[in-house]
Amino acid sequence: MFRFKSKKMTLALSVCIMSMLLSPVLTHAEATGTGSTAARQAADQKAALAKKAAAQQKLAEEKQKAAETPAVEEPKEKAAE
């Protein structure tokens, strides 16, 4: 390939090449955020399951309340009228 006689030129060229090679990796790392993707997905899944369980619990409590309270009957019409 090329032969550079100056160590300064070799160093500068090495720095430029390394920065070009690492810039896509750094940009990608900033875009995705920190932490592993699997951990984030597991946390999202756990939160969704907790939300679903809370909704089911609330529905069960409402059904239980409805079963405990007697239905209000409408007054019967008076026979005299």
What total number of domains does the chain contain?
Answer: 1
| Cα 25 to Cα 22, 33, 35, 48, distances in angstroms | 5, 12, 15, 32
pLDDT of 71: 57
Q: What is the pLDDT of residues 15-44, one digit of tens each?
A: 888 888 877 766 665 555 556 777 888 889
Whether 13 contacts 4, CB under 8 Å: yes
Task: Decide if 12 is inside a domain.
Answer: no
User: Quick check: 50 pLDDT over 90?
Assistant: yes
Task: Decide if 17 is inside a domain.
Answer: no
Task: Decide if 51 is inside a domain.
Answer: yes
Task: Decide if 23 is inside a domain.
Answer: no
Predicted TM-score (pTM) of this structure:
0.41
Cα(37)–Cα(49) distance, integer angstroms: 18
* Domain of residue 46, residue span: 40-65
Q: Which residue has the higher pLDDT, 22 or 47?
A: 47
Residue at token pair 């032969």: 3
pLDDT of 21: 81
**Average pLDDT over the chain, rounded to an integer:** 77
The one-character DSSP state at 81 is -
